[in-house]
Every structure is written in structure tokens, then in C-alpha cells.
Amino acid sequence: MTEEPGRGAVKAKGAESVYGLHAVRIMLERHPERVSAIRLIERRDDPRVRRIEELARQARVPVERVEAQVLRQRLGEVAHQGVLAEITGLPPWSEDQLLTALQSAHQPLLLALDGVQDPHNLGACLRTADACGVLAVIVPRDRAAHMTPVVRKVAAGAAETTPLVVVTNLVRTLKLLKEAGLWVVGADAEGSGRAREADWTGGVVLVLGAEGTGLRQLTRQNCDFLVRLPRLGAVESLNVSVAAGMLLYEAVRQRDG
């Protein structure tokens, strides 16, 4: 079930929920200072839960045992695995923060998502971006998925390591990145060149559109290059997070070579 944006977040300003065994453990290991409380369902006792309890004790984070319906009421019908953490959320980067970060970045690699609204896809893209050394993931403010508990769970810790940049106008941001010396490469099924033929070794922004609709026309017009992935089967398009992984790993392959 796709979670509604913002559902499951705590009411306190700047506070959010993270759920799932892996995501909560990663938060306690990497950012214990941002965890304010842990909720565990009653009667669950296994090595992974005990590890979370141990990390919480070390960080002096209170742990409360609750009935399963408490988490269900809080999060809805999601696979919470019986654990929820209340955390202080990091605000998304602004466009100015991104441009400032670029000044000290060597061969920066960025990922921009044009109208991707499924939080599962955003979470998966953040996870792949983290693995590929992406400096930041850029999304438009409107008609796009933003950070939610679902995104954090799917990202499996990457939401705490790869900044999400929320911009008012994606095309304007792409133009600013061009002025900063980056190449803008769009992924399009009808792209003129194959992904492996593009040069991914400098500063690059990879732009992907939503499944089905792809890149918006104005976004496509502001790309320096349009590349495509080979299609050997009957499927017309790939899931956006799968395509992001294939293209980002091509960039990693060229940069490591």
C-alpha cells in the first residue's frame, strides 16, 4: 500500500518517524543523537530487536513496548516490522545549498527526478544514489514525492546520507547547474545515443522522468544529451529506480576505469 505523504510523521516540528528493523538500526548506528524514542511491539524478541534495544541503551534513547495497534494507528497498514523510531528530521537542501556544495565537489554526480511521485521509487533512487556516490538527489516541489517514512524505510539509511534537494522550478535549477559547469544528461527511450557512449566522467546531472510519461518536454529541451538504455525484450520501459541504478552504475564504471 502506498503511504500518503507525511502520514506517520509525529506532530512536533522537525520530528518524523522511521520504521522497519533495518532503517531504525541504521539511524541508531549513524545518527543516535537524532533519535528521541523507540517503540517496539510487545512480545517481539529476536536478535535484530535485541540489537536495536542495545543500541538504544548505549545512546540513552528511551524504549517503549506497545501493542501492535499503536503502530498501526500511527503508520497505517505498512510493513513496520514491529519497530518505530521518533527522529528529528533533516530539512531538505535548498537550491543555494546545492550550489554551495558544488564549489568544493570534484566531478560531482547528481540525480534529478522529474515528476516521480511514488515514494517507493524515490526511496529506491536514494539508496542507489548513496551507493554510487551521488552528491544529492533533486526533486521539484510540486507533483513529486518528498521525504516520508515510506521513503526512509525503502532508502534503508540512504535518506540520512544523501541530501534531498527540493526546488521550485526544476528547469531553472538545471540551467543553473549548466552555468556551474555540469552536463545535463536526460534518460529517454528515444535518446540519440546509448548510455555507454556518453561521457560520465565530469560533473554530470542525470535526469529521469516518471514512468509512463517520461521527461516533460521543457525538461527534455534543457538536457545537453539524451541517452537510452538497450531494450532486448518486450517491455517498453523500465521502473525509474531500476533505470537510475543502471545509468548511475555506468557513471561509476567509467569513473573507476
Looking at the structure, do residues 139 and 182 belong to the same domain, yes or no?
A: yes
Give the CATH number for residue 37.
3.30.1330.30
Last residue of a domain, one of 34, 56, 88: 88
Looking at the structure, do residues 47 and 140 belong to the same domain, yes or no?
A: no
The answer, yes or no, to whether residue 90 has pLDDT greater than 80, is no
Residue 206 β-bridge partners: 111, 185
Looking at the structure, do residues 112 and 214 belong to the same domain, yes or no?
A: yes
- 147-176 pLDDT, tens digit per residue, is 888 888 888 778 878 899 999 999 999 999
Last residue of a domain, one of 72, 88, 104: 88
Q: 40: domain range?
A: 15-88
Give the CATH number for residue 174.
3.40.1280.10
Residue 116, judged by CB atoms within 10 A of its CB (0-12, 13-18, 19+), counts as buried
Last residue of a domain, one of 44, 71, 88: 88
Looking at the structure, do residues 108 and 192 belong to the same domain, yes or no?
A: yes
Output the nine-digit C-alpha cell for 105.
565537489
- 43-74 pLDDT, tens digit per residue, is 888 999 999 999 999 999 999 999 999 998 88
Looking at the structure, do residues 80 and 167 belong to the same domain, yes or no?
A: no
The answer, yes or no, to whether residue 10 has pLDDT greater than 70, is no
Beta-carbon contacts of residue 54 (< 8 Å; ≥ 6 apart): none
Number of separate domains in the chain = 2
Looking at the structure, do residues 168 and 101 belong to the same domain, yes or no?
A: yes
Residue carrying C-alpha cell 517491455? 235
2 found inside a domain: no
1 found inside a domain: no
